[in-house]
Amino acid sequence: MFGELCVKCKGRLWCGLPKCPILEAAKNYMPRLKINPGDIFGLSPPSIFVGRFGYPNVLAGPLVSQSEDSSVIADTSNLYGKDLDFVMKNTSSLLRASIKVNVKKPYGKIIDATQEISMSTKPLDTEVQVEKIRMSPSLDTFFHPTGPLIIPRKVDVVDNPAIPRKVDNVVEERLKANKVIIELYNYGLSVDYIQRILSAGVLGFDKKLVPTRWSITAVDDAIGKYLLEKIRNYESINEIQYYSNSFMGNEFHILLIPGAWEFEMLESWLKGAIYSPGKTIIGEDYEPYSGRKKYADNITGAYYAARLAVEEHLESIRRQARVIIYREITPDYKLPLGVWIIRETVRHAMFGTPTKFDSIDSAIEYISKKVKVEEWKKKSKIIYEFKHQKTLFDFQN
Amino acid sequence: MRVKMDVKDVKEITNLLLTLVSEAKFEFNQSGMSVKAVDAAHIAMIVLDISKEGFIEFESEDAEIGVDLEKIKSMLKIAKSSDVVEISKEGSKLTFQIGNLTRSMALIDASALTVPKVPNIGLPAKVVIKRDDFINGIKAADNISDSITLEVTPTEFEMYSVGDEDVSKLTLPKDMVKEIECAEPVKSTYPLDYLMKLAKAIESTEYVTVYLGKDYPVKIVFEISKGNGKVTYLLAPRIEGE
């Protein structure tokens, strides 16, 4: 049963089973949390979660830590470089206080508190009166892991949120959500923050809740498309460059080739990695210069997170390129930690100094020595085109 | 600058350019208009030359006009093909008038749009075929492979595409083409997506002239604006093998 479907589906239950057997098994790696009886007085980092099961009637609410330790991580960019124990300890200690709500009717005191928390840039003291606790922690391929689900009777924010004035303004203005995302990004707010307030339903015309999983890709994609509009006008890089980085069993090989923007991401789930227990599976998604219109179904959210990270680099050097990202997922990636892993690992790869090559063949040969699966280069559309498709430059005397 | 043209012709010009670019620089002088555009990957280039006879009315000095082609396309959607459009430039605005309807659009800075250098390519073989044959040969290859091969011999012209299992082929023997000039057989292979877009945009010409070499760019020449305009389309080949 475990096969290509699992690699594409990543916990979306395409197999028809009531629970994803892979994710359920992976939960064994998560720490068992001791929950003190009674009501919870803790900090929200700040963080919220909006589920997608049962859409449009979903579970939504804040994430609250039991401890009052303010070092709990609010922004996933701070999780980069930490070890698995640290990441697990911090993320799965966050209790998911959630109530069932229709995404189009995000009203009520608990949702008000959720929205308030989403907009804050600093941790908030939060009090949760507990109705019921479900002990199982949660895993999601897009968001970081979280702790047990709590059905709250009441949620009180006993602190004043710190909301950037810019955010207050755009919330009032009722602009299109995509426009606001770009404005806030240019204002310097993090992808995590923008994703959080998008999912909380404070943006856009209709101000509805957006499942966390969808909001992550929506923000990566919206900013990515915006950066692309700029990048397409820049000169090309003038040499073949290779960047790499590895984090928690995710090994990235990034090739930038001179030419007009194109983007391709390939993934090998090595035998024994989370979604490919039985055999190695390779997936690929590609977009031409004009960009893509359909969802990147093979790579899914990782595609948009990786694309954004490379685009941020190209924007910073004001150049365009044809980009190939090859990701090998090793058995060290024991459980899905969220697409922030991809965004941050590629961002940090691009901070490094590239290795430069005279020819595509020498670059491929170099990369081949570093990877475990050779097939990626045969699956790459950009490499195939580069070798076979001539340009008019080749005939310009 | 003030010109009048059939909507049908403006549509064809716009659609042809949109196969490669979303913005273009139109160069006007007293005798007509020309546009050169190359796609971002430098795989194909299009050159349009239209003499002033291709317009219903034509008044222009030397002018360079940078235009967002998508805007023109969406504007023309509300016009009938039998309509006439008057296009005039005042300052940095371009105004389109169709009947009682006017629409103005901001021009793009023409200096920001580079005009490609057209490579001088000598090609040994030439064949003139009906537009419909050319389009059918391309469309038949859809979903078979991502490339199509054109081949000219002294006795026939062929377009074919070979997929993993399926094959499409259009064969036109000498007596079914208008003209054929070929000393020895030549063939080259091209990316199908470019030719598919071109096939959807070519509308008014009766014949298409194909100039071909061996593993060389193809030059496709045809008429627009009722024979008063000429389009030259250059497309770089694919080289097969590992």
- The C-alpha atoms of residue A273 and residue A124 are separated, in whole angstroms, by 37
Whether B40 sits inside 8 A of A232 (CB atoms) is yes
B2-112 sits in which CATH class?
A: alpha beta
**B237 and chain A: CB distance < 8 Å anywhere?**
yes
Whether A289 sits inside 8 A of B40 (CB atoms) is yes
Closest of B142, B198, B191 to residue B170, by C-alpha: B142
Task: Tell me the mean pLDDT in the region B108-122.
Answer: 87
Whether B117 sits inside 8 A of A396 (CB atoms) is yes
Per-residue confidence (pLDDT) for residue A147, from 0 to 100:
86
Per-residue confidence (pLDDT) for residue A88, from 0 to 100:
85
Any idea where the domains of chain B sit in the sequence? 2-112, 125-235
pLDDT, chain B, mean: 94
- The C-alpha atoms of residue A283 and residue A383 are separated, in whole angstroms, by 15
Put simply, the chain A residues between 272 and 331 with a CB less than 8 A from any chain B CB are: 289
For the ranges A38-47, A71-80, B40-49, B121-130, the lowest mean pLDDT is seen at A71-80
Best A385, A392, A395, A397 residue to mutate vs chain B (most B CBs within 10 Å) = A392
Per-residue confidence (pLDDT) for residue A234, from 0 to 100:
94
**A397 and chain B: CB distance < 8 Å anywhere?**
yes
Q: Cα dist. A139→A26, A70, A303, A362, B132 in Å?
A: 8, 23, 19, 41, 57
A2 pLDDT exceeds 80?
A: no
For the ranges A14-23, A222-231, A347-356, B182-191, the lowest mean pLDDT is seen at A14-23
- Chain A residues whose beta carbon lies within 8 Å of the beta carbon of residue B191: 389
Q: To the nearest whole angstrom, how far is the Cα of A388 from the nearest Cα of chain B?
A: 5
| All domains of chain A in start order, with CATH | 19-157 (2.40.50), 165-231 (no CATH), 240-395 (no CATH)
At B188-198, the pLDDT tens digits run 999 999 999 99
Per-residue confidence (pLDDT) for residue A272, from 0 to 100:
81
Best B23, B39, B115 residue to mutate vs chain A (most A CBs within 10 Å) = B39
Contact A269, A8 (CB under 8 A): no
**More confident call, B200 vs B241:** B200
Q: How confident is the model at residue A111 (pLDDT cuts 50, 70, 90)?
A: very high
Whether B238 sits inside 8 A of A392 (CB atoms) is no
**More confident call, A29 vs A178:** A178
At B118-169, the pLDDT tens digits run 888 999 999 999 999 999 999 999 999 999 999 999 999 999 999 989 999 9
Least CB–CB distance from A388: residue in B39, B216, B238: B238
In chain A, whose CA is at the least distance from the CA of B113?
Answer: A233
The ipTM value here is 0.91
B241 pLDDT exceeds 80?
A: no
Per-residue confidence (pLDDT) for residue A68, from 0 to 100:
60
Whether A289 sits inside 8 A of B39 (CB atoms) is yes
- Chain B residues whose beta carbon lies within 8 Å of the beta carbon of residue A394: 236
Q: How confident is the model at residue A154 (pLDDT cuts 50, 70, 90)?
A: very high
DSSP characters over A138-171: B--SSSPPB--EEEEEEEEE-S-----HHHHHHH
Q: Which two tokens stand for residue A185?
A: 């990004």
**B201 and chain A: CB distance < 8 Å anywhere?**
no
Whether B43 sits inside 8 A of A391 (CB atoms) is yes
Q: What angle do CA A54, A59, A63 make, to 5 degrees?
A: 150
Count of all residues that appear for chain B in the document: 242
Task: Tell me the mean pLDDT in the region A299-327.
Answer: 97
A325 pLDDT exceeds 70?
A: yes
Q: How confident is the model at residue A114 (pLDDT cuts 50, 70, 90)?
A: very high
- Chain A residues whose beta carbon lies within 8 Å of the beta carbon of residue B18: none
Closest of A227, A292, A238, A225 to residue A265, by C-alpha: A292
A138 pLDDT exceeds 80?
A: no
User: Helix (H, G, I), strand (E, B), or coil: what is residue A262?
Assistant: strand
**B121 and chain A: CB distance < 8 Å anywhere?**
yes
pLDDT, chain A, mean: 90
Q: How confident is the model at residue B209 (pLDDT cuts 50, 70, 90)?
A: very high
In chain A, whose CA is at the least distance from the CA of B118?
Answer: A396
- The C-alpha atoms of residue B25 and residue B8 are separated, in whole angstroms, by 20
Q: To the nearest whole angstrom, how far is the Cα of A168 from the nearest Cα of chain B?
A: 33
For the ranges A174-183, A248-257, B229-238, the lowest mean pLDDT is seen at A174-183
**B111 and chain A: CB distance < 8 Å anywhere?**
no
Percentage of chain B modeled with pLDDT above 70:
99
Task: Tell me the mean pLDDT in the region A151-177.
Answer: 90
User: Helix (H, G, I), strand (E, B), or coil: what is residue B208?
Assistant: strand
A36 pLDDT exceeds 80?
A: no
Whether B236 sits inside 8 A of A260 (CB atoms) is no
Closest of B146, B157, B145 to residue B218, by C-alpha: B157
**More confident call, A287 vs A274:** A287
Per-residue confidence (pLDDT) for residue A1, from 0 to 100:
54
For the ranges A76-90, A107-121, A181-195, B38-52, the lowest mean pLDDT is seen at A76-90
In chain B, whose CA is at the least distance from the CA of A386?
Answer: B238
Closest of A310, A341, A338 to residue A248, by C-alpha: A341
Q: To the nearest whole angstrom, how far is the Cα of A396 from the nearest Cα of chain B?
A: 5
Least CB–CB distance from B239: residue in A232, A388, A397: A388
Per-residue confidence (pLDDT) for residue A69, from 0 to 100:
63
A393 pLDDT exceeds 60?
A: yes
- The C-alpha atoms of residue A366 and residue A349 are separated, in whole angstroms, by 17
Q: Which helix (H) or strand (E) holds B224?
A: strand B218-224
A70 pLDDT exceeds 60?
A: no
Task: Tell me the mean pLDDT in the region B169-197.
Answer: 96
Q: How confident is the model at residue B111 (pLDDT cuts 50, 70, 90)?
A: confident
In chain A, whose CA is at the least distance from the CA of B218?
Answer: A392
Per-residue confidence (pLDDT) for residue B191, from 0 to 100:
96
Put simply, the chain A residues between 195 and 254 with a CB less than 8 A from any chain B CB are: 232
Whether B119 sits inside 8 A of A397 (CB atoms) is yes
Task: Tell me the mean pLDDT in the region A317-321.
Answer: 97
CATH for the B125-235 domain, from 3.40.47.10, 3.70.10.10, 3.40.50.2300, 3.90.1150.10: 3.70.10.10
Least CB–CB distance from B42: residue in A232, A262, A393: A393
Whether B240 sits inside 8 A of A260 (CB atoms) is no
Least CB–CB distance from B43: residue in A232, A392, A397: A392
Q: What is the pTM of this model?
A: 0.87
Per-residue confidence (pLDDT) for residue B208, from 0 to 100:
98
For the ranges A169-173, B89-93, B195-199, B234-238, the lowest mean pLDDT is seen at A169-173
Task: Tell me the mean pLDDT in the region A27-52.
Answer: 83
**B213 and chain A: CB distance < 8 Å anywhere?**
no
Closest of B119, B145, B99, B87 to residue B218, by C-alpha: B119
Q: How confident is the model at residue B210 (pLDDT cuts 50, 70, 90)?
A: very high
A56 pLDDT exceeds 90?
A: yes
